Amino acid sequence: MEFWTTGAAAPRSTMNLAQSVEANGWDGLAVVDSQNLSGDPYVALAMAATVTERIGLATAVTNSVTRHAAATATAIASVQRVADGRAVLGIGRGDSALAHLGRAPGRVGHFETYLRHLQAYLRGEAVPFDEIDIPMAAAPPVSELGLADAPVESRIAWMAGTDKVPVEVAATGPRVIGIGAVHAERVMFTLGADPDRLRWGIGVARAAREKAGLDPDGVAFGAYINCACHPDIDAARDLVRGGLTTFARFNVMHGRTMGPWSEQAEAALHALRNAYDMNRHTRGDSRQAATLTPEFIDHFAVVGTPDQCIRQLKALAALGLDKLVFGGRLGLSADPNAAKALALLEQEVLPALRS
């Protein structure tokens, strides 16, 4: 199993963070893509690639709305070349990036088309002009220029010879899980750390591939989780509280929940949704973070002593997950308990999981 951590996309500080991540045994670093809240992720990843040699570098996650698929493909392929094949493209329907443009997450049908186009570009294949949804009000067809010759399809020719960038879909609901299972190299579940929910997600993904006539074992599975290792359980809970609100909200974003939940967990999710303030997104001192009960945190996150965290993470690996991305970089937290939690994670938990 691979273990990745996350960070903001501040280009210069990402270089320092990437060096620390590599030195402390992580397998990769993923940076956010939220243009109103952070710097450009592709600039940050390219700069991180210049000061590292081993770790993977990814978006966590970009979206299907704020950039055309050709622009996304060329950006991550550029990182791939700088990083000598270490880039990964993480993508979802969008959250804070769209909220700060006054929009909700992208529609599922549009997301599937975007993902199909993105993969075509990354494979060096062509996308027909008539499938590209640039509004006529923004730009008319090139045929109106009366050129002697012009492209007849959309293809990124310079990408020839570049290793294909793997695509990972961040997914919560069954429709997006299915789309990711069919069109991506890996489905990254945002279902929390509950084995029952992850088992449900894997089942949905495998069924979608079978329905599409594909090998159910032909896609990899991973998960975004929140984890804090600390001998004081209340301190551990507080460390994950802010980041946990983000991933938990995905499970009730549109007012309904899917998959296995207890009545208590469903009630906690609805309380979180009703209190959510996007202006304090990811903040541990936010109104939404205050709604999370100790029981829900223990259910949805991985918290506790090193031994407790190791047992929970091994249980996730046993489900068939081959990658975990730990949300909410502890090293960037102002909480006085964060440094100890990060040290325990890097010095005790990760080595035990690799032994």
**What does the pLDDT look like over 74-116, one tens digit per residue?**
999 999 999 999 999 999 999 999 999 999 999 999 999 999 9
- In the chain the first and final C-alpha atoms are separated, in Å, by 11
Q: Could you tell me the CA-to-CA distances from 224 to 62, 97, 169, 278 in Å, in that order?
A: 14, 18, 11, 20
What's the pLDDT score for residue 332? 67
- Domains and their CATH numbers in the chain: 2-140+155-231+303-354 (3.20.20.30)
- pLDDT confidence of residue 157: 92
- Amino acid at the residue 116: R
Cα–Cα separations (whole angstroms), residue 121 to 45, 83, 277: 20, 19, 37
Lowest-confidence region among 23-32, 71-80, 84-93, 249-258: 249-258
Strands 127-128 and 153-154: antiparallel
- At residue 145, the pLDDT reads 95
- What's the rounded mean pLDDT across residues 316-333? 89
Q: Share the mean pLDDT of the chain.
A: 95
Question: 220-229 and 323-327: which strand pairing?
Answer: parallel
In this structure, are residues 243 and 327 in contact, taking their beta carbons and an 8 Å threshold?
A: yes
pTM for the model: 0.95
311 three-class SS: helix
Identify the three-state secondary structure at position 59.
Answer: strand
How far, in Å, CA of 118 to CA of 98, rounded?
19
Query: How high is the pLDDT of residue 285?
Result: 86
Specify the 3-state DSSP secondary structure of 93.
coil
pLDDT at 7: 93
Confidence band of 61 (pLDDT split at 50, 70, 90): very high
Cα(90)–Cα(9) distance, integer angstroms: 14
Q: Residue 71 has what pLDDT?
A: 98
321 close to 222: Cβ distance less than 8 angstroms: yes
Residues 94 and 65: beta-carbon distance below 8 Å = yes
Residue 149 CB burial class (10 angstroms; 0-12, 13-18, ≥19): exposed
**Which of 8-12, 39-43, 154-158, 327-331 shows the lowest per-residue confidence on average (mean pLDDT)?**
327-331
Distance in angstroms (rounded) separating the CA atoms of residues 314 and 284:
27
How far apart are the C-alpha atoms of 262 and 259, rounded to whole Å?
A: 10
Q: 117 is written with which tokens? A: 């186009």
